[in-house]
Each structure stands twice: as structure tokens, then as C-alpha cells.
Amino acid sequence: MRDDELDITDIGQRAHPGPVPGDALIDTAVHDAYRRALTHREGVVADYIPILGAADPEAFGLCVADVDGGLHEAGQTRTAFSIQSISKAFVYALLCEGVGHHEVRELVGVDNTGLAFNSVVAIEQAGGHPRNPMVNAGALATTALIPGATAERKWQFILDGLSRFAGRELEIDDEVYRSESETNHRNRAIAQLLHSYGRMRFDPAETVDVYTRQCSVRVDARNLAVMGATLADGGVNPVTRDQVVSADVCRDTLAVLAASGLYERSGEWLFEIGLPGKSGVAGGLVTIAPGKAGIGTYAPPLDAAGNSVRGQIATANLSRTLGLNVFASSPAPHRQEHHG
């Protein structure tokens, strides 16, 4: 195991796959996962965006939202933080709903880069193609394609869509937005590089500004769980019952998340947890159990790839104890052999 690799191979007892248990069992599992993760002190709070460095390293919230509308919570689930890169997943879904499967796949891509989320090398290696919407290059290309003739209309489309996913009206964190705007030099460079390859369908500077705004939207762990559960239930928000996007869009979004949602650690995450998810450098993590539930966590200390340490520990525990792993199976009942 690498020195910077989080060991999540032996967390929780594996349950057989099947329907999600009843409310009481989910509540027990959530509180157990919370207690186990709370003992972990690994990771470092992100500070390359100055305002993020002020986060409380001990803050921790965990919420499971099931597709029937049940909310199961432990810790600081109402502590607000900026959504950051988690927005990529939901803005991508909104774009797929508005533009369509084939065009988005061609323009943005679906393949993991195997490199850091803000890599410029990955763009050059792909001849200017963003590769996937979960890295910054792909997210900028996605934001540029959002419907709207002006930056303000694109931004309003995104904010309205994210609010529908969360089931409540979301707002921008102005302090985070200002801090990011003063330090987003690399994203500006990525946007210009994409523009030089003909991959930006909107003004690069304005696109970066809209993207910075979407990353600065304020959410909490409960919001993330509801947003994840919306993707888990074919695009229907479990709280409001609003059909936010289609079931086909959810399928496409979850496939992309499975491949690239945890950056260069996505393969390891899928191997150990077996669920599509998306992390953000403010400490948020959303995970989706298709047809069952969304899991939202908030814990600012991150591993070397930018993923919440406690969030990963808690989610791994829930995946195992609730039998959520999409790749898990159990032997079929014994079949009597027929002899001819």
C-alpha cells in the first residue's frame, strides 16, 4: 500500500446484496459508520483556495437519503460548505438533459485521464479533448455548453437545476466565490488552452466565471444525500417528487461517475466501494446506490488525490453493511439437476 493510500479494505461486515433494510437498520448503520470514521485523523484541509483552509478539520456530517424520502443522519449534516467539484456531476446531468447523449459524449468525453483533476498534460495528450466531465477541463467544456446566450443565463440555468436536485433553493457563498476568483489562474489557463483547440463553445473567461460560481454554491451533507438519491431514483427527487432529469440521463451520469468521480483514485474506489461517487475539495462527498439511496458526507481533511478521508471511510462502511455494492452478488438458490 502506498504511503498516501487510505486503507478501506477491511471496514464493516459485508452484507449480501438486496433491498435496502428498514429505517431502523439504516439508522443503526449510519451511526455506526459515523462513529468508526470519527476516529480517523488522516488527511489535510485544502488551502490552495485560501478560504477553504479556514474549515474546521473536526467537522463531520453523514446522511443517507433513501429513494422513498427517508433521511438518516449523524453529526453535522446541516453545516454549510461549498459544493466545489461535486457540482460537475449534476451540471453534467443537466447538460445531458438539455443537449443529449451523443453530442455530450463527443464534445466532453467519458474516459478517465489517470491524471490529476487540474492536469494540463492530459489535455495536450488528448489533442485538446477534455476526456471527461469530472476533471476541470471537461467541467469547463460542460459549463460552456449549458443552454443560454449569456453568462448570466447559463448561471441561472445551473443554479435552478442544482436547487431542483437538492429540493430547496440554493445560494452562492460570496466569500468562497471571491476567494476562488482571485486564485483560479490554472482554470483560466485550461479554458484558454481548450479554446485554442476549438473545444470551448463560449467565451473562455466568462465560462471560468460561471464555473467558479457553480463551485461556490453552498450545500450541506443532507443536500448532497438528496441530490444523490435523485440520481439513484431515475431523476426523481425523493423529497419533492420533482422529475429533475430523465432516467437515461441518470444512467449516463452514474456511468461517468463510476469511471472518473474520484479522480485518479476512481478505480480503487470502485474496486473497494463499488458505487459511483463524486468528491469536492471543500470536504464533501456524494455517493449513489442506484435504485436505493444517496449518501452525503462532509469532512474537510482530504487525501492526496483531494478526496475526503472520513467521507470515504463512512461510505465504505455503509456500502458493506447495507449491501450496496453494485458488483456484489450471492449464489443463486440450489437448482435440482435434471438428468436426461
Please identify which of the residues 34, 92, 177, 211 carries the catalytic annotation.
211
187 is in an annotated binding site: yes
- DSSP calls for 108-159: H-----SS-TT-SHHHHHTTT----TTSHHHHHHHHHHSS-SSHHHHHHHHH
Q: C-alpha grid cell for residue 235?
A: 431523476
Q: C-alpha grid cell for residue 50?
A: 485560501
85 is an active site residue = yes
Please identify which of the residues 82, 85, 216, 308 carries the catalytic annotation.
85
92 is an active site residue = no
34 is an active site residue = no
223 is in an annotated binding site: no
The stretches of the chain forming alpha helices (DSSP H) are 23-38, 86-99, 101-108, 121-125, 136-145, 151-166, 174-183, 185-196, 204-215, 221-232, 247-260, 266-272, 309-321
Give the DSSP letter of residue 173.
-
Please identify which of the residues 263, 278, 292, 319 carries the catalytic annotation.
263
197 is in an annotated binding site: no
Please identify which of the residues 281, 286, 309, 326 carries the catalytic annotation.
281
At how many degrees (to 10) do helices 185-196 and 204-215 cross? Answer: 140
337 is in an annotated binding site: no
211 is in an annotated binding site: yes
Cα gap 89→237, rounded to integer Å: 15
307 is in an annotated binding site: no
Please identify which of the residues 34, 82, 88, 216 carries the catalytic annotation.
88
211 is an active site residue = yes
180 is in an annotated binding site: yes
308 is an active site residue = no
Catalytic residues, by residue number, are: 85, 88, 211, 263, 281
Which residues belong to the annotated binding site? 85, 136, 180, 187, 211, 263, 281
Which residues belong to the annotated binding site for substrate? 85, 136, 180, 187, 211, 263, 281
